[in-house]
């Protein structure tokens, strides 16, 4: 069965209350359990530091005007576990990048929780929407890895994600989802578990894309976090525990997410139409989801049901956040972008091999 058909079945099962569609066949369970026992001895060579708090105001050099409100939800990847500095977290990188592109300050709220699965999104969304400042202008969700590793039924996983996106969209927020990363890139994991992890990850990522687009959100395929750089340089792109991304890994993921976050708010200079020379197209949503799952960094957004736009946006260099204490917010730290460097870096193209 094609990946597009599997993804559509999972999404349909989520919509109509199915809960039995899994990501791996029963025949694989015995082999999988044996390989998991071996992988547990290899993965986690060190202890990943707890994620530093990244809440705060970014881009203060753009003045005292009302900031754009950015929220992050999801698991340890969204929280930034694995790095020690605030400026290395995806929240700080995305907030600084958005401020530089929009030339407006950005207020970041991160409610992601390390170890979270998709069923925790209901709590995270409620926490976010209860804020006195109101709903965010744009919310970024990064979720799915723990769903695969804890064998959460795929239909339940995408049902929870769809509900979270629907609540945020109803509240007026734009939503960008970084889909399930490719767990087959974890270096100490051996075959056949590596193949099974890749298959499960990509099936879930494609199903996530279908339900997110149907709820009016956009997705970016995180794949191997992200692009050939991660598979080619795993020792650089993974952190000390060989599972969570390193600072370079988070920067690569953030570079892929930033154009879509900006486009959702209408501040990205690139139009929302396909460029055939960049292998972009308008496809049925299930087909677009399957294609995106195969190539990291691919964006999928809705056009008109059942069609979706598949894009490969040009990545830009991220401004480097400078960390400093925020007196009026006590416990949090702020990432700031120097005006000259931030504007220059935000418009400079990323050189790729």
| Residues with a known catalytic role | 76, 241, 244
CA distance 130 to 110: 14
The rounded distance, in Å, linking the Cα atoms of 334 and 322 is: 8
Q: Does the CA dihedral 241-242-245-249 come out positive or negative?
A: positive
Task: Write b or e for each residue in 269-281: b if 16 or more Cβ atoms lie within 10 A of its Cβ, otherwise e.
Answer: eeeeebeeeeebe
Burial of residue 15 (CB within 10 Å: 0-12, 13-18, 19+) is middle
Q: How far apart are CA 130 and CA 312, in angstroms?
A: 35
Residue keyed to tokens 């956009």:
218
Taking the alpha carbons at both ends of the chain, their separation in whole angstroms is 34
- CB-based contacts of 17, cutoff 8 Å, min separation 6: none
Pairing of strands 299-304, 218-220: antiparallel
Label the pairing between strands 299-304 and 307-311: antiparallel
Q: What torsion, rounded to 10 degrees, do the Cα atoms 166, 167, 171, 173 define?
A: -60
Closest C-alpha among 87, 109, 137 to residue 318 = 87
């Amino acid at each position: 069965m094609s990946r597009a058909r599997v993804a559509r079945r999972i999404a349909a099962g989520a919509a109509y209350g199915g809960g039995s569609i899994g990501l791996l066949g029963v025949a694989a369970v015995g082999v999988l359990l044996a390989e998991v026992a071996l992988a547990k001895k290899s993965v986690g060579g060190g202890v990943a530091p707890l994620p530093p708090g990244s809440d705060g105001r970014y881009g203060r050099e753009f003045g005292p005007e009302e900031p754009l409100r950015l929220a992050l939800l999801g698991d340890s990847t969204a929280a930034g576990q694995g790095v020690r500095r605030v400026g290395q977290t995806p929240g700080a990188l995305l907030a600084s990048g958005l401020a530089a592109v929009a030339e407006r300050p950005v207020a970041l709220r991160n409610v992601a929780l390390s170890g979270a699965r998709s069923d925790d999104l209901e709590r995270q969304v409620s926490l976010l929407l209860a804020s006195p400042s109101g709903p965010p202008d744009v919310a970024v969700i990064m979720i799915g890895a723990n769903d695969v590793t804890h064998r959460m039924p795929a239909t339940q996983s995408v049902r929870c994600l769809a509900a979270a996106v629907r609540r945020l969209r109803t509240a007026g927020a734009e939503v960008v989802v970084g889909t399930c990363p490719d767990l087959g890139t974890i270096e100490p994991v051996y075959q056949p578990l590596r193949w099974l992890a890749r298959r499960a990850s990509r099936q879930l990522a494609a199903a996530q894309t279908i339900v997110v687009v149907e709820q009016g959100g956009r997705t970016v395929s995180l794949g191997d976090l992200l692009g050939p750089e991660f598979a080619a340089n795993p020792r650089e792109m993974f952190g000390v525990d060989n599972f969570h991304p390193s600072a370079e890994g988070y920067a690569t993921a953030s570079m892929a997410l930033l154009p879509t976050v900006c486009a959702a708010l209408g501040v990205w200079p690139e139009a929302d139409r396909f460029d055939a020379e960049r292998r972009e197209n308008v496809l049925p949503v299930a087909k677009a989801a399957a294609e995106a799952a195969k190539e990291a960094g691919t964006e999928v957004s809705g056009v008109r049901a059942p069609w979706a736009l598949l894009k490969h946006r040009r990545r830009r260099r991220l401004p480097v956040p400078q960390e400093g204490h925020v007196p009026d917010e006590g416990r949090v730290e702020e990432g700031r972008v120097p005006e000259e460097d931030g504007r220059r870096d935000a418009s400079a193209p990323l050189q790729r091999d």
